[in-house]
Amino acid sequence: MNLFPERNPKLAWREIDGEAVIISPEDSHVHELNETASLIWTSADGRHSVDDIADAMAAKYDVPLPVAKADACELIEMLSAKGLLVSPKQPEVQAGA
């Protein structure tokens, strides 16, 4: 599991009506995410952890945290399998932190 998911920098994207539309320039494939997956996508900046994202999902959709985390993990795995999220890596550490 990618603990600090990060968007694949080789993809172009825009958020349209709260949902992400992602272009893979290398093969011109277009991915469209639903609202929940889009929340993960927009949060996946390499600094927010899975727990952070699950917190945001629990708050937004008013679901218990364990349920949100299970959903987040499933979606992150799915997005990673499609190549939309890059491989796990350590989060950037702020200087002096």
Q: Does 13 bind another protein (CB under 8 A)?
A: yes
Q: How many residues in total does the chain contain?
A: 97
Q: Are 46 and 6 in contact (CB under 8 A)?
A: yes
Which of 2, 5, 6, 11 is the binder for another protein (CB under 8 A)? Answer: 11
Which of 3, 10, 51, 74 is the binder for another protein (CB under 8 A)? Answer: 10
- Taking each helix axis as running N to C, give the angle between helix 50-61 and helix 35-43, from 0 to 180 degrees, rounded to the nearest 10: 140
Q: Does 85 bind another protein (CB under 8 A)?
A: no
Sheet with strand 19-24: strands edge to edge: 12-16, 19-24, 29-32
User: Of 18-26, 35-43, 49-57, 88-96, which segment contacts another protein by CB under 8 A?
Assistant: 18-26
* Count of residues of this chain found to bind another protein when the rule CB under 8 A is applied: 16
Q: What does the radius of gyration of the chain's CA atoms come to, in whole angstroms? A: 13
| Phi and psi, residue 90, nearest 5° | -75, 145
Closest CB to another protein among residues 17, 62:
17
Residues that bind another protein (CB under 8 A): 9-14, 16-17, 19, 21, 23, 25-26, 28, 30, 32
